[in-house]
Structure 1
Amino acid sequence: MDQILGQVLRNAVWERLDMLADLAHEADSPALLSAARSELPRLTQGWRVMLSAHEPDERGDCPTCSTRWHRCKAPCSVWQVAHDHLVAGGLAHFQDSRRVRRLRRTAGTAATGSSVPDQTSARRSAASPTGRHALTGGTGR
């Protein structure tokens, strides 16, 4: 049951991110302004919550990514991705997001032997081997 609920949660998040990216690319100025005012504070707060869970402890380890047997030194991959997308890459990632989403949609799952364009697609394919929205009944547009 937890796997089903987890997949439903993941699908809902992927759909929301797709919707926001589509809005950024296709909406008119008033719709963009309205979306920015409502969504940007939510997105920034979400990043803050997630990053605070990955703040290094007194030993310089990420308490979330570390296990009992393997310590993960800061900055962990979550902080590295945050920096890449929010600071270093800035708009470069934003400009390619639509092309990457199309590639993800047209790429086969890892189970069929098709190449997967990025790590996000690999995680999504592994989590949903029978289709992107197999449990929610969605078609992915």
Structure 2
Amino acid sequence: MAHVLAAVLRAAMVERLAGLTTTDFGNLTSAVREILELHQPDCKGRCRECTGWPRNRKFPCRVWLIAHRHLLIPPPNQEVRHVRH
């Protein structure tokens, strides 16, 4: 199941970056794409680049989670309403 979710995450990120490439963000998307490529999972489902504790972190690693948060999750509503109780 984790491999299916990882594949969906990777596919969504590749699609999102492909859409950004057609804009003025070409260099930025190339850099993000290269960083994410370094952090692809190996055959055991662990990030190839992240080391330390826990050693060989399971995919998605922190790099993928940060990219997901900033590129795939819609930004929160900017309106802040104060309600008195």
Larger radius of gyration: 1
- Could you say which residue in structure 2 is the equivalent of 1:83? 68
Q: Quote how far apart the aligned CAs of 1:58 are.
A: 0.5
Q: Spell out structure 1 runs of 4+ moving beyond 4 A.
A: none
Q: Give the whole-Å Cα distance in 2 for the aligned partners of 1:68 and 1:86.
A: 27
Gaps of 5+ in 2: 1-22, 79-85
Structure 2 equivalent of residue 44 of structure 1 = 29
Aligned residues: percent identity?
A: 36
Cα RMSD, aligned residues only: 2.2
Aligned to 1:73: 58
Name the CA distance, whole Å, in 2 between partners of 1:54 and 1:79: 8
Alignment of 1:1-141 (within 5 A): 37=24, 40-67=25-52, 70-89=55-74, 92=75
The answer to which structure, 1 or 2, has the higher relative contact order (CA under 8 A, 6+ apart) is: 2
Report SS of the residue matched to 2:29.
helix
Aligned AA (1:41): G
Report the count of equivalent residues.
55
| TM-score (structure 2 length as normaliser) | 0.56
The structure carrying a bigger helix percent of its residues is 1
- What are structure 1's unaligned runs of at least 5 residues? 1-35, 96-141
